Amino acid sequence: MDKNNKARYIMFTIAFSILLLTNGFQVKASISSINIESEAALLMDAKSGQIIFGKNEKISMYPASITKIATAIYALENTNLDEIVEISEEATDVDGTKVYLVPGEKVTVEKLLIGIIMNSGNDAAFALAEHIDGTMENFEKNINEFLTETIGVEHTHFVNPHGLFDENHYTTVEDMAEITRYALQNDSFRNIFQMKEYDWDGEGWDTTLITHHRLLKGEYPYEGITGGKNGFVNESGYTLVTTAERDSLQLIVVTMKTNLKNVPYTDTIQLLDYGFENFETRKIEQDTVFETEEGRFIAKEDLYFTINKEHTYVTQVTNDGFLSIIDENTKNTLTQFSLTLEDIQTVEMEEAVASEVDETKADSSMHLLIGSFVSLFIILAIFIWQSDKPRGRFFRKM
């Protein structure tokens, strides 16, 4: 290669490299590039419930005010939004962040829920718990029963409705994601969870509430944020729950325990980027039938699962009706579902009834056809018989 050609080649290579770096490649976030500084974090698909990323997801942590997500959904399932709550003196004496309720003030459940989620009002959380269960002892018993039996979490125990520190008040990032996922099924919760501003006209405080969640209010601009709740006490550090949606992919991020105020948000953005750039939710339609040696199994509802956008999957069904979704690229089982065995006798009966109906319809058609031929034959015979008879008086008069 002569000097001129060599120089041209080098210049072309440099120019092409610059072009690729600036325009050609959209580098996707990979799991190896994620650097989570919070002690625990989790990324979950809200539709499927699958965990996309986890760090110390089963380690017990102190939640601080993200506790109020559980308090809110518990209240929504045990009260009506327009119920009136009379504020006790005990509620107004609670430490920490408040919406400055006053003793004897009457406030709706809905307004207290807004004060709990948007402004993290500990007095509002106490007032709601007291309204529902009478005492904090009853609240502790009932909310933990609700968490384990209704939502199904296993590593959470709450002793208060607000998240102020108690060594017996703990959860995990996995459980908090499950609690949030359950709460998102409630329309009223979702409406409050996404609020950014609210005009609060209380007896003790007249102001405009602005959400404390810095992603939700746009301090960290990010497309698709649909809700969030933050928390802090010294013993727990900063905690954060965030929900977001793009292209029908609904994500939940939970981060817990860091002493740096910005870290929950930078961690959350990393995880959201990773989720949105690499994954999608897919669905197996309700009433899809799977055949096995033991019979026919059916999906009684839509079944959602999460998979890498660039991967394919296969399904496997065991003879006892467990459906596995397997990533063909990694050979990993993504999730499993329990299918319903169709009652063979019922299926056979339905098929027999359908066959009998078809036969009846066929018989009816045949009978109608024969009847038509018989009627036509009779009409024809009468016509021939009449044509052979002598003409009557009527014809002679013409």
Q: From its phi and psi, is residue 73 left (phi > 0), alpha (psi between -120 and 50) or beta?
A: alpha
- Is 3 annotated as a binding-site member? no
Counting beta carbons within 10 angstroms of the beta carbon of residue 164, is it exposed (0 to 12), middle (13 to 18) or buried (19 or more)? buried
| pLDDT value at residue 246 | 97
| pLDDT value at residue 374 | 55
Q: Whole-prediction pTM value?
A: 0.80
| pLDDT value at residue 26 | 36
| pLDDT value at residue 348 | 46
Q: What end-to-end distance do the CA atoms of the chain give, in Å?
A: 121
Widest Cα–Cα separation across the chain:
128
Q: What is the separation of C-alpha 170 from the centre of its chain, rounded to a whole number of angstroms?
A: 24
Confirm if 197 and 182 have CB atoms less than 8 A apart. Answer: no
What are the mean pLDDT values of the chain's consecutive 10-residue runs (398 residues total)? 47 37 43 92 98 98 98 98 98 97 98 98 98 98 98 98 98 98 98 98 98 97 97 98 97 98 98 98 95 90 96 94 95 94 56 53 57 61 56 38
Q: How far apart are CA 180 and CA 363, in angstroms?
A: 60
CA distances from 315 to 224, 290, 291, 295, 333 (A): 32, 10, 12, 16, 10
Q: How far apart are CA 5 and CA 3, in angstroms?
A: 6
Q: Which residues are catalytic?
A: 65, 68, 120
